Chains A and B, each alone.
Chain A
């Protein structure tokens, strides 16, 4: 069983829709990360969370430590948001989810 589970695996949305990606984890963590990976491979760190909520532009990330659950929200989605979004938790190393492939259609 993977330490980090994400859902959905694939998501297609119309431009402008509100998007939610969920992440559950089963290990104790120092922090939870949301990462973005575009075709070609490079990974960009979007958020690092240990509690509460963070917002950056149209992206919002929340975490519930008691429930071991986090969500990534994208408001007013745009085709340039199309990417794979990966949830990862860190202790001494990263444990990665398998990612959510998001496609935003114009």
Chain B
């Protein structure tokens, strides 16, 4: 079946540094990928839609200069958390729809970011 991977699975960084998270679709091409943030025991909050070859679309309240998204190819999207602060600590999840119009999402395993 379709697989979406994320790297790294866990990362600890110091406050003020930047962290890059990769999301790859392994056996299909994804012109669109989604980035979510999940707080402990809470639902997924859509942060942005990553579009291959064009700018990402950010949800209201998400700082585009802080959460940089680049969809470099049909199988890779990256999320860079710039100048990270402890409040950015969270579980970041990406997903990709396999088929146009199906809305069914394949999710990556998530990346646990801890900012100290």
Q: Is the pairing of A and B real?
A: no
